[in-house]
Structures are given as structure tokens and as C-alpha cells.
Amino acid sequence: MPDFTAEAALALTRYRSETLQYAPRLGLLDLREWICEFLAEEGIKASPAEIIVVNGAKHGLDLACKLFLNDGDCVAVTAPTYFTGIPIFRSHGLSFLQVPQDAEGISIDFLHREIKLRRRNGQPIPKMIYDIPDFHNPTGITMSPDRRRQLVAFANQFDVVIVEDSPYRKIRFGGPTFPPLKALDDSGRVVYLGTFAKLLAPGLRIGWVVSTAESVARIAQLKSDGGSCPLTQRIVFEYCSAGKLSQHLDRVSVEYHKHRDIMVAELREKLPQASFRVPDGGYYLWIGLPGIVDADRFAEAATAKGVEIISGTRFYADRNIAYPENRIPGSDHIRLAFSFASPTQIKDGIGRLAEIFHQPH
Amino acid sequence: MPDFTAEAALALTRYRSETLQYAPRLGLLDLREWICEFLAEEGIKASPAEIIVVNGAKHGLDLACKLFLNDGDCVAVTAPTYFTGIPIFRSHGLSFLQVPQDAEGISIDFLHREIKLRRRNGQPIPKMIYDIPDFHNPTGITMSPDRRRQLVAFANQFDVVIVEDSPYRKIRFGGPTFPPLKALDDSGRVVYLGTFAKLLAPGLRIGWVVSTAESVARIAQLKSDGGSCPLTQRIVFEYCSAGKLSQHLDRVSVEYHKHRDIMVAELREKLPQASFRVPDGGYYLWIGLPGIVDADRFAEAATAKGVEIISGTRFYADRNIAYPENRIPGSDHIRLAFSFASPTQIKDGIGRLAEIFHQPH
């Protein structure tokens, strides 16, 4: 965890009249300008008027749904998808189109087939596609460059909004870097969600949305909180603009890289039945277990033994989806996080999971 | 503005693992327990499970609408009402019942008559009443004890949720203290909105909602931000629990009392045509101007002269309301804030308003 004491002292003295008053509705201009530079390194061209600071990426997702969708609309999500997003979509009364992924990312072929089918049957086609192209949560998949271009082309063809959620892109251990969807977008239909939660600390509750200036202005109207907290914005800006973020990310990436390698080695040794991809970054391993295991029960048993894992079933937007052997979707998968646990905790945790697995079930 | 540097240093060192991680969904327990004690002094009995920390009172209002109301429902508001609330109600697709106030507060007689009429005509009756019983924004009216009891009884009789917005109660210069509506509520239908914005600093973005434990749990589900910022919560808790809040409120109340008196004296001397009540607390004067003045134009002229005032028309939820002389509702009123301006700015500002008033219009 980074040390923000110097930044907080500065924020509460030199910038006191800024940090204790209402912030500008789009967020502090200094911070939005810094975000523009940060995004420019990724090939995303955005001006401060195209960025609004929000209380974390989830808040940005909620606002994007509020702006672009209506009750009864359909959103396309990967199967599996980021589980915290699911209740947000539900709270907007959306239905789901669950789209499979392969090693290159979300299946555009499936999307095309499904759209054709839905049009023929007079069913609604998705108005939004939500995805995490870099180090996907939970699968760890990074979308290939071709797939990225196909996805943006698909969205253009069928007039769909893409929400690109990008919390993990900078937590990279290796592998090639591909342009964000937003960098491939000429039409303004990609809405980009960024956050300092995974870059610095979840507790700061500072994220941002990149969209057109017009959409950003409308999101500002829908944002009922009178501007995000200027104190934490100032702390983040002072930290980042002093060059400390890149040092922090270097440290964190080296550390999490080690954690990933330890978790992978432990799994291969103690639980060789587990199947998984080794992701080039992010926080998670998405583990397939032989179909004899019920992931919900497995996760309960792990929790009882003090190991925090999440059952794969929680990552499916709903159960109306074909799944091998007619099982409940995700019931043969679990998600493990290698990020926050220490090497000792990781070794100990995998050991306990192996014990549970080898008990009669 | 208070000095939070010591609290921030403590929050970012001793409490670092708390303040930089996700917070509990209801907010820090320490802070909720402190809020319970703070409310107990006002006669409100609440347990920590009946309180959720939110990003300011506006956020609380938005969540209350999300929980209790549906598209097309009707909300009763005073006419005039808190103008920032209006777009929040609109964003939930609500219609308005605008209720007049007298010196004792919202008119219960009007509410009874209107309900009877609406039932007879098969029109929807309000599902929520939104009001600010202490130092109402913008009128400064404090609701009488009788009216408070009648309002709660009315809500019980017709199964209506009351949202009691209470940002100014502790900014008191004199006058008797009456129990909050929430203290008179046995049935759990009063939702109380509190905030540190007016107590400490708007920039902290920390407010709270008091409701039943069941409703609070449901609000936590609807709150899409993964818990409000633990850093600012810890700062607020350390400040308040050290006894600094009451000292700060004493200082602020003495200061704003002076500001109010200066503004009242200046108005009586330089703009004797202005009619207004002198409120016992809060931030605002609600000024009636002779009907020859158009408040929108008057506010524009004031802004052009560097005086920030708000036209009375902005405080009406919609224009479908009878108003004297068939004028646009609020067009003969302006709201002045005596809180943040210095005595010199107040004197100078009223002088400029008088100049504008005395120009031919």
C-alpha cells in the first residue's frame, strides 16, 4: 500500500479551500489533465471535457447504464463476467446476452449469429457490450488485436455502445501490449472505465469515465453526488504527478508476478487436476476443476478453512446458457486471487484447497 | 474550514490497511456508532445497522428514491423546495405534488385536501414526502412541534414515506429546538438524511441515511460504489470523536449568526422593499421582492456584478402550481446565502443588489 501522508498534508494545507469545498462536477481539472496524459501513453486521445471523475469504476458502470440504457434493454456480457457488475446491470432492469470467449477474447462470430437470430425472431438486440479486454476478470484472457478491431467494427455496424472496463491493464507481468478499444474508436461509441482502485488503493474511491464531451456532460447531470471527493482527488493527483505512480506500479507488478508464479507452481504440484491459463497480468487465476466437484460447496469448504475463493457460478449473469454436461454454469470453476495474499498465505491456501479436493466428495 | 491534517496523518498511518482498502458496505463501524450517539442527543434512537454512510445527502436522496419509488410515482415537496433535489426526483421519473408552507411548515390541510381530490379523480397519491423541517432551504422556516406530529400522523394514515433532510439543524443561532421527525416515528417510515457537508466541509462527501435495518440493507445492495471512501470516513470519525466537531459548530454558528445579522441590517437599510423572515439558523435568506422585478433577470444582473444569488424560480419543482398574479412561481423571490461570504462581501453584495434594484426595470 502506498504512503499518501505527504500528499494528504499538502492537500489539507496548501489546497484546503479546494479540497474542503465542492469539487467541479467533472472532477479536478489537474487530475483530468493528468489522466489525459496517462491515457495518451496508451494511444487514447481524450481532452479533459471528455473525462468525468467518479467514485470508482463500478460507479462509472452504473452511470453508463443510466445514460445509455432503459429498463428492458439487453446488455451483452462475456460468460463468465465480472460478478460485481451483474447486480448493477440487474438494477437497471436489463436482460443479458451471454457471449463465450476463446483464447483471443469475446466471440464476434457468436455475436453475429445471435444478432441474426434475434432479428429473425423479433427479439431485442444488445444495446451495450461490456467487456474487460486486458487481463479479463475472472478468466485472465487478453483480447487479441484482431478481435479488438472486429469488436469495434461490430459495434459500429449494429450501433452498440461498448463499455471497456480497464482496471488491470497496468498490472502487467509480460506479453505484448495491444491498443485499448477506446484507441480504436473513431465514432465515440466506446466508453472507457478507469480506476485508481487497482493502480493505487481501492479505498480512494476514485475512478473515471472517458466518453464524448456530450455524454460526459450528461453523465455529470445524472451524477447525484455533487462532485466526487476533491480531497482524495488532490491526493491522487499529487502522488501521480510526482512520478510516484509508475514506481508503485513497477513494485506491484514485480510483486504480483512473483505471487502468480508461486500460485501456479503450488497448483501444479499439489492440485494437478486443476486446469487454467497463466495470465500475463491482473489479479486472478480462473481454475477449472474436474466436473465431479461442485464449486459452490468447494468454496464454502474453503471459506470454512479460512481460504477466500469465489465459486465460478457467481460469474455468470444468469443460468440461461448452454453449459457442458447440462451443469449449472461455472459450477466446475473457481476464481483465485494471487494479488493481496502473501507467498506464505498462497502456499498455505493452495495446500488447504488440495486437502479439500482430496476429501471424498 | 477545519484543520484535518492530524486526522489525515493518523488515518494514513495507523489505519492505513483500513483506509486504503474497500470499506464495509454500510460504512466504518466506528463512524456509524458515533453517528448513533450524535443522533441520540436529538432523540433519535438508531443502531449501527440502521445507518448507511453515503457520499453526501444528495446521494442518500437518490438511493431513497431508488429504493422506495418507481417510475411515474408522485413525490410531495414543499413549494419552494431544495433545488438540487429536483433533478434527482426527475431522474427517477417522478411527478410532483407541490405543497405550500406557512410559518409552521408544510401545510397538512393542503395535503389532506389534495389526497381526497386525487382519490376522487383516480389520480396517484404521493408515495413520498420530502421536507427539511429545520431551517428549510430556501425559506428558513422551522416546522412547529404540532406540525411535525401531524405530518408523521399523515404519513402513517396514508402509508407515505417521509424523507427528512436535515443538513442545517446544528447551525443554530437561537430559537427553540423541536424533535426531528425521525424521533417521532414509531413505524420506520421516516428516512433521515444527515451530512457532514454543512457540519464540517462539503468536500468530504460523507453523509448518512437512517432507516430500518431492512431498508438499509437494501440500500447497500443498490449502492453501486463498493462502499463510501474509508479514508474520509476515518478522518471525520477521528475529528468528531476527539470532540472537535462541537467546538467547530460553536465557532461556525457564532460566525454565521453575525453574518445573518449583518445581512439583515444591510437589507433593511439599503433594500427596504425586500420582505423576508429572519431564520433561527441555517445558511439562507428567502427574499420576496416587489412583483415588478423578474427574479431570473435580477439574478443574471447580480451575477454580472459578481454577486452570487439564486433566482426563486429554480426552487419550484415545476410550474404547474397556482401563484399570485399568475406569475411564474418564484419569479418574485431570490435566495441569498449569508454563510460563506465575509461581512465585507455581504455589505458590498447587498449594496450592489440595491443598485440593481434601483435601476429602471
Mean pLDDT by 10 residues, chain A (361 residues): 95 95 94 98 97 95 96 96 95 94 98 96 95 98 98 97 97 96 97 94 94 97 86 97 96 97 98 96 96 89 95 95 90 96 97 92 61
Q: How many residues does chain B have?
A: 361
Asked whether B17 and B44 are in contact (CB, 8 A), the reply is no
List B172's β-bridge partners, or say none. Answer: B281
How many Å lie between the alpha carbon of A9 and the closest alpha carbon of chain B? Answer: 6
Looking at the complex, does the CB of residue B2 fall below 8 Å from at least one CB of chain A? yes
ipTM of the complex: 0.88
- Spell out the SS3 assignment of chain B: CCCCHHHHHHHHHCCHHHHCCCCCCCCCHHHHHHHHHHHHCCCCCCCHHHEEEECCHHHHHHHHHHHHCCCCCEEEEECCCCCCHHHHHHHCCCEEEEECEECCEECHHHHHHHHHHHHHCCCCCCCEEEECCCCCCCCCCCCCHHHHHHHHHHHHHHCCEEEEECCCCCCECCCCCCCCHHHHCCCCCEEEEEECCCCCCHHHCCEEEECCHHHHHHHHHHCCCCCCCHHHHHHHHHHHHCCHHHHHHHHHHHHHHHHHHHHHHHHHHHCCCCECCCCCECCEEEEECCCCCCHHHHHHHHHHCCCCCEEHHHHCCCCCCCCHHHCCCCCCEEEEECCCCCHHHHHHHHHHHHHHHHCCC
Asked whether A130 and A77 are in contact (CB, 8 A), the reply is yes
Q: Contacts for A308-314 with beta carbons within 8 Å, 24 or more apart?
A: A308/A337, A309/A334, A309/A335, A309/A336, A309/A353, A310/A83, A310/A138, A310/A334, A310/A335, A312/A80, A312/A138, A312/A286, A314/A83
Asked whether A150 and A131 are in contact (CB, 8 A), the reply is no
CA B68, B69, B74, B77 torsion: positive or negative? positive
- pLDDT the model gives residue A361: 61
- pLDDT the model gives residue B292: 74
Asked whether A354 and A271 are in contact (CB, 8 A), the reply is yes
Identify which of A96, A66, A68 has the alpha carbon closest to the alpha carbon of residue A82.
Answer: A96
Burial label for B267, CB within 10 Å (0-12, 13-18, 19+), is buried
**Contact check, Cβ <8 Å, A224/B61:** yes
Identify which of A159, A149, A137 has the alpha carbon closest to the alpha carbon of residue A181.
Answer: A149
> Which residues numbered 219-258 in A keep a CB inside 8 Å of some CB on B?
221-222, 224-232
Instruction: Kindly report whether the peptide bond that precedes residue B138 is cis, defined as omega within 30 degrees of 0.
Output: yes
Q: How far apart are the first and last CA of chain B?
A: 39
- pLDDT the model gives residue B361: 61
Half-sphere exposure of residue A284: CA atoms within 13 angstroms, side-chain side: 27
- pLDDT the model gives residue A290: 86
Profile chain B (361 residues) by mean pLDDT over runs of 10 residues.
Answer: 95 95 94 98 97 95 96 96 95 94 98 96 95 98 98 97 97 96 97 94 94 97 86 97 96 97 98 96 96 89 95 95 90 96 97 92 61
**Run of H or E residues at A119:** helix A108-120
- pLDDT the model gives residue A224: 75
Half-sphere exposure of residue A351: CA atoms within 13 angstroms, side-chain side: 6
Asked whether A105 and A158 are in contact (CB, 8 A), the reply is no
> Which residues in A203-239 are b (16+ Cβ under 10 Å) and which e?
bbbbbbbbbeeebbebbeeebbbbbbbbbbbbbbbbb
Looking at the complex, does the CB of residue A204 fall below 8 Å from at least one CB of chain B? yes
- pLDDT the model gives residue B322: 87
CA-to-CA distance for A296 and A286, rounded, in angstroms? Answer: 15
* DSSP-derived secondary structure letter, A116: H
Looking at the complex, does the CB of residue A163 fall below 8 Å from at least one CB of chain B? no
Q: How many residues does chain A have?
A: 361
**Contact check, Cβ <8 Å, B9/A9:** yes
Task: Classify residue B305 as left (phi > 0), alpha (psi -120 to 50) or beta.
Answer: alpha
Contacting residues of A for B12, CB less than 8 Å apart: 3-5, 8
Asked whether A26 and A216 are in contact (CB, 8 A), the reply is yes
Per DSSP bridges, beta strands B207-210 and A284-288 are: unpaired
**Run of H or E residues at A288:** strand A284-288
**Contact check, Cβ <8 Å, A229/B232:** yes
- pLDDT the model gives residue B3: 95
Identity of residue B141: I
Q: Which three cell numbers stand for residue A135?
A: 487481463
Looking at the complex, does the CB of residue A218 fall below 8 Å from at least one CB of chain B? no
Q: Reduce the DSSP state of residue A67 to 3 states and report it.
A: helix
Contacting residues of B for A12, CB less than 8 Å apart: 3-5, 8
CA-to-CA distance for B38 and B32, rounded, in angstroms? Answer: 10
- pLDDT the model gives residue B325: 85
Residue B87: count of CB within 10 angstroms of its CB:
12
Looking at the complex, does the CB of residue A122 fall below 8 Å from at least one CB of chain B? no
Q: Which chain A residue has the Cα nearest residue B88?
A: A224
Among B1, B61, B204, the residue with its CB nearest the CB of A17 is: B1
Report phi then psi at A100, rounded to 5.
-70, 160
> Which residues numbered 61-90 in A keep a CB inside 8 Å of some CB on B?
61-62, 66, 71, 84, 87-88
- pLDDT the model gives residue B141: 97
- pLDDT the model gives residue B245: 96
- Taking the whole predicted model, whether its pTM rises above 0.80 is answered as yes
CA-to-CA distance for A215 and A46, rounded, in angstroms? Answer: 13
> Which residues numbered 91-120 in A keep a CB inside 8 Å of some CB on B?
91
Identity of residue B188: G
CA separation, residue A7 to residues A11, A23, A243, A248 (Å): 6, 18, 13, 15
CA-to-CA distance for B38 and B177, rounded, in angstroms? Answer: 15
Instruction: Kindly report whether the peptide bond that precedes residue A126 is cis, defined as omega within 30 degrees of 0.
Output: no
Q: Which three cell numbers stand for residue A211?
A: 466518453
CA-to-CA distance for A217 and B212, rounded, in angstroms? Answer: 36
Asked whether B154 and B108 are in contact (CB, 8 A), the reply is yes
